[in-house]
Homo-oligomer: A and B are copies of this chain.
Amino acid sequence: MFSQSEENYLKAIFHLQGETDDGVSTSSISTHLNTKAASVTEAVKRLAEKKLVDYQKYYGVQLTETGKEHALAVVRKHRLWESFLVDRLNFNWDEVHEVAEQLEHIKSIKLVEELDKFLGRPAYDPHGDPIPDAKGNMPEIPRKKLSQLQKGDRGTCKGFNDASSSFLKYLAKQQIGLGTAVEVVNIEKFDESMTVRIADEEVQLSKTATDNIYVDP
Protein backbone atom coordinates (compact mmCIF):
# COMPACT_ATOMS: atom_id res chain seq x y z
CA MET A 1 0.00 0.00 0.00
CA PHE A 2 0.95 3.62 -0.35
CA SER A 3 1.26 6.33 2.26
CA GLN A 4 -0.94 9.41 2.39
CA SER A 5 1.97 11.51 1.34
CA GLU A 6 2.64 9.30 -1.65
CA GLU A 7 -1.01 9.41 -2.64
CA ASN A 8 -0.97 13.18 -2.42
CA TYR A 9 2.01 13.35 -4.74
CA LEU A 10 0.35 10.99 -7.22
CA LYS A 11 -2.79 13.09 -7.19
CA ALA A 12 -0.87 16.33 -7.59
CA ILE A 13 1.09 14.96 -10.53
CA PHE A 14 -2.12 13.64 -12.07
CA HIS A 15 -3.81 17.03 -11.85
CA LEU A 16 -0.76 18.92 -13.11
CA GLN A 17 -0.16 16.48 -15.92
CA GLY A 18 -3.43 17.43 -17.60
CA GLU A 19 -3.52 16.65 -21.26
CA THR A 20 0.15 17.26 -22.03
CA ASP A 21 2.80 14.62 -22.41
CA ASP A 22 5.77 16.50 -20.92
CA GLY A 23 7.01 15.95 -17.44
CA VAL A 24 5.58 17.81 -14.47
CA SER A 25 8.12 20.15 -12.87
CA THR A 26 9.35 19.87 -9.32
CA SER A 27 8.39 23.45 -8.54
CA SER A 28 4.82 23.12 -9.80
CA ILE A 29 4.35 20.12 -7.52
CA SER A 30 5.84 21.96 -4.57
CA THR A 31 3.52 24.91 -5.17
CA HIS A 32 0.50 22.63 -5.51
CA LEU A 33 1.26 20.77 -2.30
CA ASN A 34 2.68 23.64 -0.27
CA THR A 35 6.00 21.93 0.27
CA LYS A 36 9.54 22.81 -0.74
CA ALA A 37 11.14 21.74 -4.01
CA ALA A 38 13.75 19.70 -2.17
CA SER A 39 11.02 17.62 -0.54
CA VAL A 40 9.46 16.99 -3.91
CA THR A 41 12.72 15.73 -5.37
CA GLU A 42 13.01 13.21 -2.55
CA ALA A 43 9.40 12.10 -2.78
CA VAL A 44 9.58 11.72 -6.52
CA LYS A 45 12.64 9.50 -6.17
CA ARG A 46 10.73 7.21 -3.83
CA LEU A 47 7.81 7.09 -6.27
CA ALA A 48 10.16 6.29 -9.14
CA GLU A 49 11.67 3.43 -7.14
CA LYS A 50 8.17 2.05 -6.73
CA LYS A 51 7.53 2.37 -10.46
CA LEU A 52 4.70 4.83 -9.95
CA VAL A 53 6.37 7.59 -11.95
CA ASP A 54 9.04 7.97 -14.60
CA TYR A 55 11.57 10.47 -13.37
CA GLN A 56 14.47 12.10 -15.15
CA LYS A 57 16.62 14.48 -13.16
CA TYR A 58 15.96 18.10 -14.09
CA TYR A 59 13.23 17.11 -16.56
CA GLY A 60 10.27 16.42 -14.32
CA VAL A 61 8.05 13.39 -13.71
CA GLN A 62 5.26 11.53 -15.46
CA LEU A 63 2.90 8.94 -14.01
CA THR A 64 3.36 5.35 -15.14
CA GLU A 65 0.27 3.28 -15.95
CA THR A 66 0.26 1.96 -12.39
CA GLY A 67 0.76 5.45 -11.02
CA LYS A 68 -2.12 6.78 -13.03
CA GLU A 69 -4.41 3.98 -11.90
CA HIS A 70 -3.62 4.81 -8.31
CA ALA A 71 -4.07 8.52 -8.80
CA LEU A 72 -7.45 7.86 -10.37
CA ALA A 73 -8.46 5.63 -7.48
CA VAL A 74 -7.70 8.47 -5.08
CA VAL A 75 -9.54 11.01 -7.23
CA ARG A 76 -12.49 8.61 -7.35
CA LYS A 77 -12.58 8.36 -3.58
CA HIS A 78 -12.19 12.11 -3.14
CA ARG A 79 -15.13 12.87 -5.42
CA LEU A 80 -17.35 10.14 -4.02
CA TRP A 81 -16.77 11.42 -0.49
CA GLU A 82 -17.52 14.97 -1.61
CA SER A 83 -20.77 13.71 -3.09
CA PHE A 84 -21.60 11.94 0.14
CA LEU A 85 -20.90 15.01 2.24
CA VAL A 86 -23.05 17.28 0.10
CA ASP A 87 -25.86 14.89 -0.85
CA ARG A 88 -26.29 13.11 2.46
CA LEU A 89 -24.69 15.14 5.22
CA ASN A 90 -25.84 18.66 4.35
CA PHE A 91 -22.40 20.06 3.69
CA ASN A 92 -22.14 23.02 1.36
CA TRP A 93 -20.15 22.30 -1.74
CA ASP A 94 -17.54 24.86 -0.72
CA GLU A 95 -16.74 23.23 2.63
CA VAL A 96 -16.17 19.63 1.61
CA HIS A 97 -12.70 19.82 0.17
CA GLU A 98 -10.56 19.56 3.31
CA VAL A 99 -12.61 16.72 4.73
CA ALA A 100 -12.50 14.84 1.44
CA GLU A 101 -8.72 15.32 1.44
CA GLN A 102 -8.67 13.19 4.56
CA LEU A 103 -11.32 10.66 3.56
CA GLU A 104 -9.71 9.95 0.20
CA HIS A 105 -6.91 8.07 1.96
CA ILE A 106 -9.10 5.51 3.71
CA LYS A 107 -8.12 2.07 2.53
CA SER A 108 -10.98 -0.32 1.83
CA ILE A 109 -12.08 -1.48 -1.58
CA LYS A 110 -15.44 -2.59 -0.22
CA LEU A 111 -16.02 0.83 1.33
CA VAL A 112 -15.54 2.64 -1.97
CA GLU A 113 -17.69 0.18 -3.86
CA GLU A 114 -20.51 0.31 -1.31
CA LEU A 115 -20.32 4.09 -1.03
CA ASP A 116 -20.59 4.38 -4.79
CA LYS A 117 -23.60 2.05 -4.79
CA PHE A 118 -25.17 3.89 -1.83
CA LEU A 119 -24.87 7.22 -3.66
CA GLY A 120 -26.43 5.77 -6.80
CA ARG A 121 -23.19 5.65 -8.79
CA PRO A 122 -22.99 9.40 -9.43
CA ALA A 123 -21.17 10.53 -12.57
CA TYR A 124 -20.20 13.98 -11.28
CA ASP A 125 -19.21 15.36 -7.91
CA PRO A 126 -20.71 18.51 -6.32
CA HIS A 127 -18.20 20.68 -8.18
CA GLY A 128 -19.26 19.19 -11.50
CA ASP A 129 -16.08 17.17 -11.88
CA PRO A 130 -16.45 13.68 -13.34
CA ILE A 131 -16.07 10.71 -11.00
CA PRO A 132 -13.93 7.88 -12.39
CA ASP A 133 -15.49 4.43 -12.18
CA ALA A 134 -13.82 1.50 -10.44
CA LYS A 135 -11.70 0.86 -13.53
CA GLY A 136 -10.59 4.49 -13.75
CA ASN A 137 -12.79 5.51 -16.67
CA MET A 138 -14.12 9.05 -16.62
CA PRO A 139 -17.41 10.05 -18.15
CA GLU A 140 -16.58 12.34 -21.07
CA ILE A 141 -18.32 15.69 -21.16
CA PRO A 142 -17.84 18.59 -23.51
CA ARG A 143 -17.10 21.53 -21.26
CA LYS A 144 -16.45 25.13 -22.16
CA LYS A 145 -14.93 27.80 -19.98
CA LEU A 146 -17.14 30.78 -19.27
CA SER A 147 -14.26 32.91 -20.56
CA GLN A 148 -14.72 31.33 -23.99
CA LEU A 149 -18.28 32.60 -24.41
CA GLN A 150 -19.04 35.69 -26.51
CA LYS A 151 -21.12 38.72 -25.62
CA GLY A 152 -24.78 37.70 -25.66
CA ASP A 153 -24.10 33.97 -25.15
CA ARG A 154 -25.97 32.05 -22.46
CA GLY A 155 -24.88 29.00 -20.53
CA THR A 156 -25.40 26.86 -17.46
CA CYS A 157 -22.65 26.29 -14.87
CA LYS A 158 -21.47 22.71 -14.95
CA GLY A 159 -18.31 22.79 -12.90
CA PHE A 160 -15.45 24.75 -11.41
CA ASN A 161 -11.79 24.25 -12.00
CA ASP A 162 -10.16 25.88 -9.03
CA ALA A 163 -11.11 23.98 -5.91
CA SER A 164 -9.53 26.50 -3.52
CA SER A 165 -11.83 27.45 -0.69
CA SER A 166 -11.36 31.15 -1.40
CA PHE A 167 -12.65 30.67 -4.93
CA LEU A 168 -15.54 28.54 -3.76
CA LYS A 169 -16.52 31.15 -1.21
CA TYR A 170 -16.26 33.84 -3.84
CA LEU A 171 -18.66 31.91 -6.06
CA ALA A 172 -21.08 31.37 -3.22
CA LYS A 173 -21.06 35.11 -2.56
CA GLN A 174 -21.86 35.83 -6.21
CA GLN A 175 -24.72 33.33 -6.04
CA ILE A 176 -23.04 31.10 -8.59
CA GLY A 177 -23.40 27.37 -8.22
CA LEU A 178 -23.92 24.23 -10.24
CA GLY A 179 -26.84 24.74 -12.58
CA THR A 180 -26.83 28.52 -12.37
CA ALA A 181 -27.87 30.13 -15.66
CA VAL A 182 -25.60 32.94 -16.86
CA GLU A 183 -25.74 35.36 -19.77
CA VAL A 184 -22.74 37.33 -20.97
CA VAL A 185 -23.73 40.99 -20.95
CA ASN A 186 -20.37 42.52 -21.72
CA ILE A 187 -16.66 41.74 -21.97
CA GLU A 188 -14.09 44.41 -21.10
CA LYS A 189 -11.36 44.50 -23.74
CA PHE A 190 -8.45 45.62 -21.60
CA ASP A 191 -8.60 42.99 -18.83
CA GLU A 192 -11.08 40.52 -20.33
CA SER A 193 -13.30 40.82 -17.28
CA MET A 194 -16.93 39.94 -17.88
CA THR A 195 -20.29 41.31 -16.88
CA VAL A 196 -22.76 38.46 -16.59
CA ARG A 197 -26.45 38.39 -15.76
CA ILE A 198 -27.45 35.92 -13.07
CA ALA A 199 -31.14 35.85 -12.24
CA ASP A 200 -31.63 39.49 -13.23
CA GLU A 201 -28.59 40.65 -11.27
CA GLU A 202 -25.51 41.84 -13.09
CA VAL A 203 -22.18 40.66 -11.73
CA GLN A 204 -18.61 41.52 -12.63
CA LEU A 205 -16.21 38.57 -13.00
CA SER A 206 -12.43 38.71 -13.59
CA LYS A 207 -10.73 36.67 -16.29
CA THR A 208 -9.23 34.53 -13.51
CA ALA A 209 -12.74 33.70 -12.36
CA THR A 210 -14.28 33.04 -15.78
CA ASP A 211 -11.33 30.80 -16.67
CA ASN A 212 -12.32 28.55 -13.81
CA ILE A 213 -16.02 28.27 -14.47
CA TYR A 214 -17.26 25.61 -16.86
CA VAL A 215 -20.55 26.06 -18.70
CA ASP A 216 -22.77 24.12 -21.06
CA PRO A 217 -24.40 26.20 -23.78
Residues on A close to B: CB < 8 A? Answer: 85, 88-91, 95, 98-99, 102-103, 106-108, 110-111, 114-115, 118
Contacts and interface: CB of A to CB of B under 8 A. Distances in A.
Contact of A102 (B85, B90, B106): B106
Contacts of A99: 106, 108, 110-111
A114 B90 contact: yes
A175 to B, nearest CB: 23
A111 B110 CA distance: 21
A126 B5 CA distance: 33
B114 A108 contact: no
A101 to B, nearest CB: 10
A114 B98 CA distance: 16
Contacts of A98: 108
Given A102-B108, A103-B106, 9 more contacts: A85-B111, A89-B114, A89-B118, A91-B110, A91-B114, A98-B108, A99-B108, A99-B110, A103-B103
A4 B104 CA distance: 16
A48 to B, nearest CB: 27
A133 to B, nearest CB: 18
14 contacts: A89-B111, A89-B115, A89-B118, A90-B114, A91-B110, A91-B114, A95-B110, A99-B106, A99-B108, A99-B111, A102-B106, A102-B108, A103-B103, A103-B106
Contacts of A85: 111, 114
A143 B57 CA distance: 61
A99 B108 CA distance: 7
A110 B94 CA distance: 14
Contacts of A108: 98-99, 102
A119 B108 CA distance: 21
Nearest to A102: B106
Contacts of A111: 85, 89, 99
Nearest to A113: B89
Contact of A118 (B88, B95, B114): B88
